[in-house]
Amino acid sequence: MALVNFTSTSDKLSDYIIDELMNRIINNTNIKIVERKQIETVQEELNFQMSGLVSDETAKSIGKFIGADVILTGNLISIANGYRIGIKTIHVETGVVQSLYIINIENNAEMISLIRNYTNIELNASNTPYSFLKISDTHSFGLEKRIHDGSGAIISPDNKWIIAVSGYDGKIYIYDIMDLSLLRAIPIPKIDYFPSLSISNDGRIIAVGYETGYDYEKNTDIGRILWYDILTGRKIGDDKFYGGRSHKCLCVFNPVYTTQLLIAFGNRIYIFDTFTRKNKSIKLNTRIINTIEYSNDDSYIAVGDTSGNITILDGLSLKILKRFSGHSGGINSLSFSPDNSVLISGSSDFTIGVWNIANGNEIITLTNHVERIESVLYTINGLYFLSSSADGTTKLWDSHSFKVLKEYRNSEGINLSHDGNYFINDFGVLFKIE
């Protein structure tokens, strides 16, 4: 591993943090560390500073030049009541972010002393530099001043970006997850109702779905999906879908096949191929579809409607396999366990249903929230799941005992990072799961 660079308030502080990280890694792990002198020899060659801002591509070049398998970069920035440290490791060959660690540190006496000793900044606990960040939890940061209406936010598959959509602004925003700098804004039509947002599992395509009017000849509302290339920001597709009356056009990329998108509008489900432009569909005998979800291996599709019913479809043929009922309010979110044995559902009746997929029985009803459930999500390992509610909380549950392990404040609709270590709410606030 090579500790390539660390950005902070001063070169001296960056050097101190790099040295401390190296010491911790050497003393507590079996990881081999490239010596600082070896890295310094390529500084002039590649024109970079260990204490300055280095792009991922430059960092990869440095790693290849010195023969490292993995590189580590990080930064320290000031926030509203302290500092935030972000550290990530990148695999040199693939460029994939292997791990991401973000933590907020209070501006206590020890931190003030450290900053004073390694910078020229004089601080005290009452005059911490102002930042646009808003802390909502000890391990979170927010983008509320950039995302005006909380239309939705997701994390890219490689954990490099936060992607947020604002129907009010008519824009997709792409932020660097480490320093929250705005990398790109993509124009989209202004949207009255909250849009649906999804990203392909290779991180190349963003899909935005929304209701866009009424077709009087077909006697149906119109659902619209817009496709954007995330690297160029250019629109690469614009398709319409029909299915009756609805204010939502939902879209979820297939977790296995990059080009396939699951779409729901009204009471109709589509599987659309972005490459061939072909689709297959099924009309369900249900009320308006309110949420859709793939299983991790794409073998199942779960569909929840506004009347509280759940339908399980075959992920390839769209054949109806099972129907679950029990909720007295609409289904707002669904999530499969990693082994496809359990489905959890979040409803407007303030409850979470835990269902045995094999026999269709409800294992348990969870009633710990006091408002409608906005989102439910299994973690990657299946040991835990998350539930977020309009009561302003997200709860972390043990998936075996069904006990609440932790509660996070100020979070409604949420999405999970692909490594399962973080979740992000619709306003762009990132929370660490621990």
CB-CB neighbours of 61 under 10 Å: 19
CB-CB neighbours of 179 under 10 Å: 13
Closest among 251, 356, 355, 247 to 294, alpha carbons compared: 251
The pLDDT, as a whole number, for residue 57 is 67
Residues 6+ apart with CB under 8 A from 18: 3, 5, 6, 36, 50
Alpha carbons 272 and 237: distance in angstroms, whole number: 12
Ramachandran category for residue 26: left, alpha or beta (phi over 0 → left; psi -120 to 50 → alpha): alpha
The CATH code belonging to domain 2-118 is 3.40.50.10610
Alpha carbons 129 and 143: distance in angstroms, whole number: 17
Tokens of 402: 């069904």
Asked whether the beta carbons of 356 and 330 are under 8 A apart, the reply is: no
Asked whether the beta carbons of 407 and 395 are under 8 A apart, the reply is: yes
Residues 6+ apart with CB under 8 A from 247: 193, 211, 221
Residues paired with residue 416 on neighbouring β-strands, in sequence order:
423
Q: Which CATH architecture has domain 147-432?
A: 7 Propeller (2.130)
Say what the alpha-carbon torsion angle 374, 283, 337, 396 is, to the nearest 10 degrees. Answer: 0
Q: Backbone phi, then psi, for 36, in 5-degree steps?
A: -55, -40
Boundaries of every domain in the chain: 2-118, 147-432
Asked whether the beta carbons of 28 and 39 are under 8 A apart, the reply is: no
Asked whether the beta carbons of 230 and 284 are under 8 A apart, the reply is: no
| Sign of the Cα pseudo-torsion (255, 257, 259, 262, in order) | negative
pLDDT per residue, tens digit, the chain (434 aa), is: 888 778 877 778 888 888 888 888 888 888 888 876 666 666 666 565 544 555 666 666 777 777 788 888 888 877 656 777 888 888 887 777 777 777 777 666 677 677 667 655 443 433 332 222 232 333 333 343 344 345 688 989 888 888 988 888 899 999 888 777 788 899 999 988 779 999 998 889 999 999 998 888 888 899 999 999 988 889 999 999 998 888 889 999 999 998 999 999 999 999 999 888 899 999 999 889 999 999 999 999 999 999 999 999 999 999 999 999 999 999 999 999 999 999 999 999 999 999 999 999 999 999 999 999 999 999 988 999 999 999 989 999 999 999 999 998 866 788 888 878 888 887 777 787 87
Residues 6+ apart with CB under 8 A from 343: 302, 310, 312, 324, 334, 335, 336, 337, 354, 355, 357
The pLDDT, as a whole number, for residue 322 is 95
Would you call 115 helix, strand, or coil by DSSP? helix
Ramachandran category for residue 151: left, alpha or beta (phi over 0 → left; psi -120 to 50 → alpha): alpha
- The gap from C-alpha 378 to its chain's centroid, in whole angstroms, comes to 13
H or E element that contains 259: none
Distances (CA, A) of 155 to 132, 296, 430: 20, 17, 9
Closest among 371, 382, 324 to 347, alpha carbons compared: 371
